[in-house]
Amino acid sequence: MMKRDSLNRRQMSGLIAGVTLLLAGVAAPAQAQVVQVDRGDAKHSVGFNLGYFAVKGEDSRVDDDVLLADLDDLAFDIGDFSGFTFGGEWLFGIGDFIETGVGLGYYQKSVPSVYRDFVDIDGTEIVQDLKLRVVPITATVRFLPIGRAAAVQPYVGAGIGIFPWRYTETGEFVDFSDGSIFRDRYEADGTAFGPVVLGGLRFPIGDAMTTGVEFRWQKAEGDTKPEESRMLAPKIDLGGWTTSWNFHFRF
């Protein structure tokens, strides 16, 4: 009995060892195939961005811009409307050097203002709050001159933007016909369209992620419809530059 049990144990041990070696031999090539994937093979990427939108300055804004008209009476700086933005983006690679993409962003900034030459009867300032919101929706095409699999990936691109926007003026205002002060709210909104031009530099992180910086220029003008909104001018300039940090997941 002892010899037979010992023999059975040796046979079982040999069988387990053989199965283990077989499984190891099958798993090793499979593991190698999973790890050794070229990052250029990933066609899709989804990411997010955080940046800073710099509005066009006073000297370069479109004629009949409502912010320029407001400056005749109100004390604020056009540059105060520059502010932080964030958004998301989906990219699709076409070959090694071309990518198409669609993106959605969000920007909103409130700017306090007062009348330049008027104060209330008690000497206090006559205060307003000016607020601009833009939600850019973009479709773009990028060209990567050294390819989507390079260790450093510069790119340039262009596209079209759809810009839903809203501008409000809320607070105290002066009726110049009789010098009275009243509270009110003026609002204009709409959707503008315009070109987008971009360029950037990104760096792969392993095979599944990229990060980098991008510069983007947009041009668009909104119609304030003064007959309805009671704004002082018929246009609002939505153009400017956005500098953003981007992070994408590739698959």
Domain that holds residue 73: 41-250
Q: In terms of domains, do 10 and 126 share one?
A: no
Q: In terms of domains, do 27 and 88 share one?
A: no
Q: In terms of domains, do 177 and 199 share one?
A: yes
Which H, E and C letters describe the chain, residue by residue?
CHHHHHHHHHHHHHHHHHHHHHHHHHHHHHHHHHHCCCHHHCCEEEEEEEEEEEECCCCCCCCCEHHHHHCCCEECCHHHHCEEEEEEEEEEEECCCEEEEEEEEEEEEEEEEEEEEEECCCCCEEEEEEEEEECCEEEEEEECCCCCCCCCEEEEEEEEEEEEEEEEEEEEEEECCCCEEEEEEEEEEEEEEEEEEEEEEEEEECCCEEEEEEEEEECCEEECCHHHHCCCCCEEECCEEEEEEEEEEEC
CATH of the domain at 95: 2.40.160.20
Report the number of distinct structural domains present in the chain.
Answer: 2
Q: In terms of domains, do 152 and 202 share one?
A: yes
Report yes or no: 163 and 192 within 8 Å, Cβ to Cβ. Answer: yes
Spans of the chain below 50 pLDDT: 1-9, 11-12, 15-37
Q: In terms of domains, do 83 and 201 share one?
A: yes
Q: In terms of domains, do 21 and 77 share one?
A: no
d(CA 96, CA 18) in angstroms, rounded, equals: 45
Nearest to 89 by CA among 107, 70, 72, 102: 102
Q: In terms of domains, do 79 and 9 share one?
A: no
As a whole number of angstroms, the longest Cα–Cα distance in the chain is: 119
Mean of the per-residue pLDDT values for the chain? 88
Q: Which pLDDT does position 40 carry in this prediction?
A: 54
Q: Which pLDDT does position 39 carry in this prediction?
A: 52
Q: Is the pTM of this model over 0.85?
A: no
C-alpha radius of gyration, the chain, whole number: 30
Q: In terms of domains, do 155 and 215 share one?
A: yes
Q: Which pLDDT does position 42 carry in this prediction?
A: 77
